[in-house]
Structure 1
Amino acid sequence: MKKVALLLSLTALSAAAVAQDQTTGPRSGRLASSTDYSPGSSASRNNGFGIKGGFTASNFRGDDKKNFNNEGIYNTFHAGVYAQFGFNNALSLQPEVLYSRQGFKGAPMQYASRGTYDTRLDYIQVPVLLVYNFLDNVSVHVGPQVSLLTKVKEGDTERKIADDNNVYGYSYNSLDYGLAAGVEARVGPARVGGRYTAGFADIIKDPQNAAANSINNIKNGMFQVYVGIGIAD
């Protein structure tokens, strides 16, 4: 994780250094802002696509959170691509496709025989965000997000998402949906931001015994910090 953070920091510094030499846009001698161009033009700051990635602090919430011992934050990462489509100088739509490794620390008290372990959940996420530039290069983002669960690890053991043979006593919900909101700043081709995402679907489904039923009501929650680089914007 330290290596990932260092790489992101170096990327941001490099992008900022390149941006300092840019004089694009009608107002020369300064960085282009979101209001420098007419919407829909090839040079619009609210149109384009790029790559992004960063740090994720993931946890869970819900009524059954109290039934876990040693509960805590699961530190991990996310990465993916984004596109941005401008409506005008202030508003745009930004869909993304992300690989998000998340999960939570904590051991269900009802499964004490397994010991303490971390639960890792790998998702493909698709947020669709409405972006509003309240300053030239600072914006707020908010919108829905749909996520598909692709992999589950409980401790060092990879397990199936569904528990058709009742080996574990419960299955994982393969689909999550929720709401994402955050703030982003742009410097030349680089963007740096923070975002919180709350999942609305239960992580655990189909409890098949009393122990599993006691951990059925938990939902994803995570905070992301990221760096992005615009390839065309």
Structure 2
Amino acid sequence: MKKAALLLSFCALSAAATAQTEGSRVSGIRSSTDYAPGSGSSDSRNNGFGIKGGLNWSQIHGDDKDNYDNLGSYRNFHAGVYAQFGFNDKFSIQPEVLYSRQGFEGSSASRSNTNTYFTRLDYIQVPVLLVYNIVDNVSVHVGPQVSLLTKVREAGQERKIANEDNLYDYSYNSLDYGLSAGLEGRIGPARVGGRYTAGFADVIKDPKNTAAQSLANIKNGAFQVYVGIGISN
């Protein structure tokens, strides 16, 4: 399924790149070069806001990921809003606010139930991306991201993020930070893209025993594909 999503993203980006050569003949499709360089005005195609959403394929990385058995990815969704502020016809800044369900599949010795289970981690994510237009309708995005953990579910059961009452062998970090990078294609107000986000903070903190300590160095990673609609420009 991941291969199919990658193929879909590639085809969408190829279509967007082809559309740039026809943009002048298609009513309503404007390219970044329709605007004077350095204008930065509110009329710029690199300014505006909109909504977006798509699919996540998330997993973990880090030195201790091999201490999980039957490790696999977790598939869910993300959705949110974005704003874009253009400097000129090539560069812009795009902050976003997203609700993202991530996690992973696996089993660990720190739980009495050793069957494979899903760990779901719900985040409010705020990426701030530098956008560079490679060509008129295809851009590369890269920038930092900060995420706030709002909910955790293990094996279908909701659990507390912190471990104040010592019911668990470990706690979860409520804050994550990392780096996002990807590509996006645009046709008129619509956009299609794919990106990868690598978390730098440990998912698990305060391990209480040896089994939990063997899982302390794991971090988030997620591949996202999305579609978006610009409400303004």
| Pair in the same fold by TM > 0.5 | yes
1:41-95, CA deviations, whole angstroms, 9 ceiling, x for partnerless residues? 3321100000000010000011111111111010111000000000011000000
1:70 corresponds to 2:70: yes
2:231 corresponding residue in structure 1: 231
1:206 corresponding residue in structure 2: 206
Offset of residue 28 of structure 1 = 6.0
Offset of residue 176 of structure 1 = 0.1
CA RMSD of aligned residues (A): 2.2
Q: Check the 8 A contact 2:161/2:173 in 1, yes or no.
A: yes
> d(CA) in 1 for partners of 2:103 and 2:125?
14
Offset of residue 164 of structure 1 = 1.1
1:178 corresponding residue in structure 2: 178
User: Which range is displaced more, 37-46 or 73-82?
Assistant: 37-46
1:131-165, CA deviations, whole angstroms, 9 ceiling, x for partnerless residues? 00010010000000000000000011100000112
Within 5 Å, give how 1:187-202 maps onto structure 2: 187-202=187-202
Within 5 Å, give how 1:90-101 maps onto structure 2: 90-101=90-101
Q: Equivalent of 1:32, from 24, 30, 33? A: 30
> d(CA) in 1 for partners of 2:146 and 2:32?
28
- Unpaired runs of 5+ in structure 1? 6-11
TM-score, normalised with respect to structure 2 = 0.87
Identity of aligned residues (%): 71
Within 5 Å, give how 1:104-115 maps onto structure 2: 104-111=104-111, 113-115=113-115
1:8 corresponding residue in structure 2: none
Offset of residue 35 of structure 1 = 1.7
The one-letter code of the counterpart of 1:108 is S
1:103-140, CA deviations, whole angstroms, 9 ceiling, x for partnerless residues? 00011134353522100000000000000001001000
The one-letter code of the counterpart of 1:188 is G
2:127 corresponding residue in structure 1: 127
The one-letter code of the counterpart of 2:117 is Y
Instruction: Give 3-state SS (helix, strand or coil) of 2:33's partner.
Output: coil
> d(CA) in 1 for partners of 2:109 and 2:187?
48
> d(CA) in 2 for partners of 1:151 and 1:110?
20
1:170-214, CA deviations, whole angstroms, 9 ceiling, x for partnerless residues? 000000000000000000000000000000000000111111101
2:8 corresponding residue in structure 1: none
> d(CA) in 2 for partners of 1:29 and 1:77?
33
User: Which range is displaced more, 161-170 or 104-113?
Assistant: 104-113
> d(CA) in 1 for partners of 2:55 and 2:128?
20
The one-letter code of the counterpart of 1:70 is N
Instruction: Give 3-state SS (helix, strand or coil) of 2:216's partner.
Output: coil
Instruction: Give 3-state SS (helix, strand or coil) of 1:81's partner.
Output: strand
Instruction: Give 3-state SS (helix, strand or coil) of 2:193's partner.
Output: strand
2:147 corresponding residue in structure 1: 147
Offset of residue 168 of structure 1 = 1.0
- Unpaired runs of 5+ in structure 2? 6-11
The one-letter code of the counterpart of 1:65 is K
1:205-225, CA deviations, whole angstroms, 9 ceiling, x for partnerless residues? 011111110110000000000
Q: Give aligned pairs, total.
A: 215
> d(CA) in 2 for partners of 1:110 and 1:159?
15
User: Which range is displaced more, 170-179 or 108-117?
Assistant: 108-117
